Amino acid sequence: MDYELSDEQQQIREEVRRFAENEIRPVAKEYDREEKAPLDLIEKGAEMGLTGAQIPIEYGGAGYDTLDVALVVEELYAADPGIGGSILGTAFGSEAIIAFGSDDQKERWLPDLAAGDAICGSAISEPHAGSDVASISTRAEKDGDEWVINGNKMWITNGSIGDFFVVLCKTDPDAEGRYNGFSQIVVESDRDGFESDKITGKMGIRASDTAELIFDDVRVPEENLVGTRGAGFLQQMQFFDETRTQVAAQGVGIAKGAAERALEYAQEREQFGKPIGDFQAIQHKLADMHTEAEAARQLTYKSAWSVDHKDEQLTMLASMAKEYASRIAVRNANECVQIHGGSGYVDDFDAERLYRDAKITQIYEGTTEIQKNIIARELQGKGM
């Protein structure tokens, strides 16, 4: 197996790392405190092609594969998860349009996303439906040549700043089978009956916009249906291997950021007449943090490679990577605070912010418990 990144991938990593260090880290505390979306940094990220990283070149994107995107995610999240997620998440939901959208839909929506001129979101979760996606109740009924949508979506990334959303709806409530009868429909945020309510007071990733969406007789044209009517749930499931791999990369980035900051602090902070990094207790923490971050990185890279090469172990690897990397992110962030001591408990240093940010990686795109269920299911050869 070749573990060496290509020259192009090395260049991508270095450029993104410089951007993250120079543009993101100096202002991360400000955006976290104010819980505001970093629109100016999104614009700068767009100039580097980061807002359209996974969008095909023919629509103005960078056309990166899954491993390329994972490298970008890692570097941005090592600097600041909230801002990094905001930049990369501007095209969240476009996967459905890329994979299942018509040529007209791709030409209509993808170029603006790639250029950073538009922001989209994926609207799946509801107040009562998180892990159990098939229990969503948002309805879309056909009325002539329009869809009429009613319902609520919860915890939606870009919810109060998005220009449009790919919304998972129940379009055929009488369809047989628990996973049938769902469709994905694009809803523009300027439609009558659409409202968003920004969610504040989040534990972490506060720079990343999150909101509740309300659909009250929202009408959209029938051509906003993405792909085949009734196949929305199965379409959505095809993205989880990719999106969970990217959450694993988020975890790797946080684990890396925490390990680097802990090492830096341990070399600077002195107690009993010498740097605390000279004490074996701290040395063991640093050794574990860097070792486990590297283990999470290799598992994530393998999962990314498997997405790009359609490996048969893909689903299990994606869940393994997501579960493990998120666990190490939380563990390293915790140890980073511990090494900083009292200084890690206030926002003078990045340690406490990474500690708060890390936890979400164990929740979204499928909780830790769901990932373990999937791994066990795949090991036993059982279907969905």
User: What amino acid positions are annotated as catalytic residues?
Assistant: 365
Cα gap 172→189, rounded to integer Å: 24
Residues contacting residue 163 through CB under 8 Å, at least 6 positions apart: 112, 118, 119, 120, 188, 189, 190
Q: Is residue 328 within 8 Å of 368, Cβ to Cβ?
A: no
Cα gap 111→200, rounded to integer Å: 31
CA angle at 77 for the pair 74 and 78, rounded to the nearest 5°: 80
- At 149, give phi and psi (nearest 5°): -115, 135
Beta bridge partners of 214: 152, 195
Q: Is residue 56 within 8 Å of 238, Cβ to Cβ?
A: no
- At 338, give phi and psi (nearest 5°): -60, -45
Burial class (CB in 10 A: 0-12, 13-18, 19+), 270: exposed
Question: β-strands 210-221, 194-198: how paired?
Answer: antiparallel
